[in-house]
Amino acid sequence: MRITKSRLRKLILKEITQVPVQIKAGLKQAMFDSKFWTLSNNIDDVDLVTETEFSTPAVEKLMDALNNEATKSMQDLYFLLHVDEDESYILGPDDQYGYYPNNWMLRGYYSGPQNGKHVIVIIFRPLSHNYRLQDLNPNELVGKLSRTINHEIIHVEQLKKQAISKGISEEQAWEELLADKKQIPQTQGRSEYLSLHNEIDAYAHEAAEELLSLYNSEEAMDILRYGNPNSTPIIKDYLHWLQKKHRQPALNNFMSKVYSQIKSQVSQKI
C-alpha cells in the first residue's frame, strides 16, 4: 500500500522516539562513578580550556567520563561541556530560579553531526562562594543531567531517522533540518518552540523520565489523566504555554506521547 506524504507525516507525529536503555544506563553510571561534584565548580576556578571555552575541574571530569563511556560503548556521540563565566549566572542559595542546589546546568542542546560524531553541548553555571556542598543531592544532580542528555539524544535519533528516510547523509539532513520551519522556531515565543513536533517528542521522553523518577507508573498515569499542573516542571510548562485554543492540538499530542513514553519506559525496565 502506497503511503502518502500526509499519511507519513501523521505517522511520524504519532511515533515516539526512544533512547536505548543500555546507552542511558551507561552514561548515567559513568556520571555517578566520576563523582565530578566532589571537584570544584566554584566561580574562582573557572578558567579557559580552549581559545573560547571556559571550564572547571568538576566539569572537565564529567566531560571526560561521558566521552570515555561513549567511546567504550561505541556510540557516535561527543559531549562538549563548558562553564559560562558570566557572574550573573552564578548558582547560590539565593537563586531566583529555584535551581539551588541540585541543578548546575544553564542549558543544553544538540549541535549536529561533526567529524563523524553527534555533538551534544551542555553549559554549566559556576557555583557561588556560599554554595554548600552538604546541601547537594548527587542523585538529583545526575538525574537532571541524565534526563537532559537523553532529551538531546532523542534529537540525534530524530536526525538519523530523517537521513535514512530521505536517503541522504546525516550532515545533509542536518542542513535541511536547520532550514525546516517545522523543526526550528521562527520566533522567540515559548509556545511556538514547545509546539514543534521534534521538541514534543524529546520533551515527552524527558517528562516521562521526570515523572517516573518521582512516582510509580500508576501514580504517573493518574497525573496525566487529571492534568495536575504542578506535577512536574515540564508538564507544568506545557500546560502553561499550550492551553490556548490554537495550541490545544500540540498539547494533546504532547500528553499522548508522555503517556506512551511512560508505558514504553516501564516495559523496558521489566
Cβ(265)–Cβ(208) below 8 Å: yes
The letter for the amino acid at 113 is P
Cell of 33: 562513578
Residue 9: per-residue pLDDT: 43
Flag whether pLDDT at 157 surpasses 90. Answer: yes
Residue 251, pLDDT > 60, answer yes
Q: Which residues partner with 224 through β-bridges? A: none
User: What does the CA dihedral 124, 121, 31, 142 come to, rounded to 10 degrees?
Assistant: 50
Mean pLDDT of 22-43: 97
Q: What is the mean pLDDT of the chain?
A: 91
Looking at per-residue pLDDT, the higher value among 173 and 9 belongs to: 173
208-246: per-residue pLDDT in tens?
Answer: 999 999 999 999 998 888 877 777 899 999 999 998 778
Strands 54-55 and 47-48: antiparallel
- For the cut 90, the answer to whether the pLDDT of residue 1 exceeds it is no
